[in-house]
Amino acid sequence: MAQPEPQAAPGRVLVMKFGGTSVADADKIRRVAARLVAAHLAGRRVVGVVSAMGHTTDGLVELAEQVSPRPHPREMDMLLSTGERITAALCAMAINDLGHHAVSLTGSQAGIVTDTVHTKAKIVEIRPRRISEALERGDIVLVAGFQGVSTAYDVTTLGRGGSDTTAVALAAALDGDCEIYTDVDGVFTADPRIVPTARKLRSVSPMEMLEMAGAGARVLQLRAVEFGRNHGVPIHVRSTFSDADGTWIREDGGMEDAIISGITHTTDEAYVTLTDVPDEPGTAASIFNAVAAAHINVDTIIQNAVTHGDADITFSVPIDDLELMTDTIEGLCADLGLHWRVIRDVAKVSMVGAGMKSNPGVAARMFQVLADRQINVRMIATSPIKVSCVIDRTKVGDAVTALHDAFRAELEVSADGAVGV
Ligand code: ADP
Ligand code: ASP
Ligand code: MG
């Protein structure tokens, strides 16, 4: 069931974002430059948002940790923001060499204003005056992704994968279209690097994509999907290395008859279990107020059923925030008389699909498939359109593959022809 693609109005702004693999070396940067020029020649007003080259950001994180065991977050942002700036400048040079005018801007110069939470800042406002002026002059504008300037005038970064959010936010501010170019052909029914038979999805609703991104499909940063949904920006995720159509994330993107759109997994979470939690009003509020004050994003929270006496509460924490969490929880547990432990050797596998709401039985089948593979389910969490199971980390590849096989018929409904990477 092919859907008509949204028509591009001539002269409309087009934001094109290229991820790390797409700009990994000089040749690839020249190819990205040519692609931006082609869009410009086709009559679009072009804004290129670029990531740091290849694994530059990982390299900078490692370097910081060699210099300082717990790098200061403000300085971390100064450091990490340089990766994207390098790519933006190089790409602008390559465009100039092709005979077109280009100008590169840092996040701050591009008018991306954020809150003051270093290393995972949220965009609070966009003042795109410089971008608009450059576009009026006929320039191609390159914006360093993943960064902004805080309301306290410091450089901030938007969390790993944050260039996606830069791109969607700029498309919203400039009333333009948004294309996310990456190293796979679109959003797949599972990570195509783990499941070679995964199929590309034609389109996905923002709600499903939110659940998929939140459950580990790192092809789009969660915040980018939120931004797109809140501002009504359709997102086209597609390959840097081909002209093929990718996956559309847009309001009419969900397939009515698709029970399941994707199977996702993450190994980036740890779980904290608090025991002896007093069965009193306000305890959970004190715990999660402290966690929120430390700017730690908790995804899943499970409290055991309390019939009488004390309870256990288990919640997920991004692995990167585990040290911060340890600091927070130590004080809290001492104050409230709780005990705590961290579970690290786990992964989460999730099934996402809008049709689950009206098709009971998906969870039961999922548990059966895992049981048949001798995979023990350690925790379960659900939303109306998602079922997640926490399992042993060593079993995650097996679990995703087995579920993809078992639900192949359901997944086919939303997929198009493309298979694997
Ligand atoms: P970029 O550097 O372009 O931002 P990322 O590495 O952040 O790229 O995201 C692309 C990667 O996301 C793919 O290489 C793929 O391994 C992974 N991925 C995980 N789940 C999915 C999925 N459901 N569909 C497509 N890609 C996925
Ligand atoms: N370079 C940053 C990262 O590796 C941001 C991005 O690529 O979107 O997370
Ligand atoms: Mg990314």
Q: Is residue 243 part of a domain?
A: no
Q: Is residue 219 part of a domain?
A: no
| Host domain of residue 133 | 13-183
Looking at the fold, whether 286 and 407 belong to one and the same domain comes out as yes
State which of 138, 158, 183 marks the end of a domain: 183
Q: Is residue 242 part of a domain?
A: no
217-256 pLDDT, tens digit per residue, is 999 999 999 999 999 999 999 999 999 999 999 988 666 5
- Comparing CA positions, the residue from 215, 235, 239, 216 lying closest to residue 224 is 235
Task: Indicate the SS3 state at residue 147.
Answer: strand
Q: Is residue 197 part of a domain?
A: no
* String of DSSP letters for 59-121: HHHHHHHHH-SS--HHHHHHHHHHHHHHHHHHHHHHHHHTT--EEEE-TTTTTEEE-S-TTS-
Looking at the fold, whether 166 and 262 belong to one and the same domain comes out as no
Cα(50) to ligand 2 centroid in Å equals: 9
Q: What number is the average pLDDT over the span 413-419?
A: 68
Ligand 1 lined by 350 (C-beta under 6 Å): no
Ligand 1 lined by 146 (C-beta under 6 Å): no
Q: For residue 421, is pLDDT > 60?
A: no
Q: Is residue 22 part of a domain?
A: yes
Q: Are the C-beta atoms of residues 29 and 56 closer than 8 Å to each other?
A: no
State which of 183, 207, 241 marks the end of a domain: 183
Looking at the fold, whether 412 and 308 belong to one and the same domain comes out as yes
Q: What number is the average pLDDT over the span 369-397?
A: 96
Report the C-alpha gap between 301 and 316 in whole angstroms.
7
Instruction: At 214, list the tokens.
Output: 């939140």
Looking at the fold, whether 282 and 137 belong to one and the same domain comes out as no
Looking at the fold, whether 303 and 173 belong to one and the same domain comes out as no
- Closest approach atom of ligand 1 to CA 201: 24
304-333 pLDDT, tens digit per residue, is 866 667 788 999 999 999 988 988 888 888
Q: Is residue 72 part of a domain?
A: yes
Q: Higher-confidence residue: 170 or 297? A: 170
Q: For residue 82, is pLDDT > 50?
A: yes
pLDDT at 412: 85
194-222 pLDDT, tens digit per residue, is 999 999 999 999 999 999 999 999 999 99
Q: Is residue 30 part of a domain?
A: yes
Cα(81) to ligand 3 centroid in Å equals: 15
385-399 pLDDT, tens digit per residue, is 999 999 999 999 999
Looking at the fold, whether 271 and 175 belong to one and the same domain comes out as no
CATH code of the domain in which 59 resides: 3.40.1160.10
Total count of domains within the chain: 2
Considering the entire predicted model, what is its pTM?
0.93
Read off the DSSP letter of residue 393.
Answer: G
Q: Is residue 8 part of a domain?
A: no
Ligand 1 lined by 139 (C-beta under 6 Å): no
State which of 146, 166, 183 marks the end of a domain: 183
